[in-house]
Structure 1
Amino acid sequence: MVIKMYGLCRQLRAKSLPMRPESASGVWGFSMYSASMAAKMFSIILFVSLSTSGLTMSKNAVAQEPDAKHISNYVPNAKLVGKGMFSYYFWDVYTGELYAPEGEYANQPPFALKLTYQRDLEGKKIAQRSIDEMKKQGDLSADDSDKWLSLMNRIFPDVSEGDVITGIATKDGASVFYVNGEKADEIEDKVFTQRFFDIWLSDKTSEPKFRKKLLGSG
């Protein structure tokens, strides 16, 4: 982008300067003013572009680095199993990354699923969609459905592009959730943990292609 804008400014300067000088107070004077403005424009664009890039990199670093540490605390020798983009029709929703010991998913804890959102979503809709997907895996009692929905409504915030939610299934069968590197909650319920992560990892998932990507075979 910066290179293109620099080229544009050079073109503006070339067009502003005449082939021969007329008078200091005539076309030549106006041309020098235009060239000066073009140079200032380029300087401003360059500064804003570099500043924005730096802020974006800093934000991503702050959001992602703590997650890796938290994953390692629960998943020994955690390595990436697989990753992929989950899309709904034409919209990219989130990227998913599955981590397991030595990068080998054994269909049992411990492991971690990291979701980096690509668009804005309401937390209550994330929670409701999670319950709906759990029900697709098999029967779910009304009591469990209501209890788990209430828990997830408390855990999942409204998200924007770049936000990260990491779910960790511990070796004891609990679910630990982090939002942008900050611990959100822990649910000590083995049945919940199984049903929640089955949304993506069960062979009954509604998104088998995405499951293959997470397992490194898609």
Structure 2
Amino acid sequence: MTRGAGVSRRALLRAATGAAAVASWPVRASIAPPEIAAELPGVRLLGSGRLRFLGLQVYEARLWAPRPLADDDYARVPLALEIEYARRLVGRLIAERSIVEMRRLAAFDDARAERWQAQLAAILPDIDRGDRLTGVQLPGTAARFFANGRAIGEVRDAEFTRLFFGIWLSPQTSEPQLRAALLGT
């Protein structure tokens, strides 16, 4: 693309990997999906939002937790983040983008980044339109992952768990509007 033509390669890459502007969207159901209810009995829907880039919907996200979250206490509460995709994405690229976003929140060495990225890439499948990925945060312990309700893996690392869910829930997120919508604020 030439300069001034509108969209840069970097912007297109961000669109393909999930970074962009957000809009709130109406909640379809306030009953937790079975995998979330089994992992976290008693949770309720806190909020939801739609991620868009260049007017195209990337995904809808829903946050489930046992209680409302204070500004910085997301890392101490068991919760689930459910994402329903509106387009096809490659699992490996989702893993790569996740590490980039995690590094925006905290510094960690290349060896740790490579290990976490390899773990995520091994867990996350390629996504088709309508697929749901769910991450369950077990504070201080692990992040468990589900695809369309089926368990697909977990990363047992407290720091990974905090930073991974921080992509959406940290006050330093790159998507503050989506964070506000998920937290219901």
Q: Does the TM-score normalized on the shorter chain lie above 0.5?
A: yes
The one-letter code matched in structure 2 to 1:179 is A
Deviations 1:28-48 (A, max 9, x none): xxxxxxxxxxxxxxxxxxxxx
Between Structure 1 and Structure 2, how many residues are aligned? 151
Q: Find the aligned partners of 2:68 and 2:37 in 1 and give their Cα distance.
A: 14
1:192 CA drift (Å):
0.5
Extract unaligned runs of 5+ from structure 1: 1-63
TM-score by length of 1: 0.66
Question: Which one of the candidate residues 85, 93, 105 is aligned to 1:137?
Answer: 105
The one-letter code matched in structure 2 to 1:97 is R
1:73 CA drift (Å):
2.3
Q: Highest Rg: 1 or 2?
A: 1
Q: 2:91 — aligned with what?
A: 123
Give identity over the alignment, percent. Answer: 36
Q: 1:75 — aligned with what?
A: 40
Deviations 1:102-150 (A, max 9, x none): x423522200000000011111111111011011112121111000000
Higher relative contact order (CA 8 A, sep 6+): 2
Q: Report SS of the residue matched to 1:129.
A: helix
1:173 CA drift (Å):
2.6
The one-letter code matched in structure 2 to 1:104 is P
Q: Find the aligned partners of 1:187 and 1:114 in 2 and give their Cα distance.
A: 17
Q: 1:110 — aligned with what?
A: 78
1:32-51 to 2 correspondence within 5 Å?
Answer: none
Q: Report SS of the residue matched to 2:95.
A: helix
TM-score by length of 2: 0.77
Extract unaligned runs of 5+ from structure 2: 1-28
1:93 aligns to 2:58 (yes or no): yes
Deviations 1:167-198 (A, max 9, x none): 00025531100001110001111010001000
Moved more, 82-91 or 176-185: 82-91
The one-letter code matched in structure 1 to 2:143 is S
1:87 CA drift (Å):
1.0
Deviations 1:147-175 (A, max 9, x none): 00001111111111100000000255311
1:170 aligns to 2:138 (yes or no): yes
> Would you say the 8 A contact 2:139–2:162 is kept in 1?
no
Q: Find the aligned partners of 2:105 and 2:139 in 1 and give their Cα distance.
A: 22
Q: Find the aligned partners of 1:153 and 1:181 in 2 and give their Cα distance.
A: 19
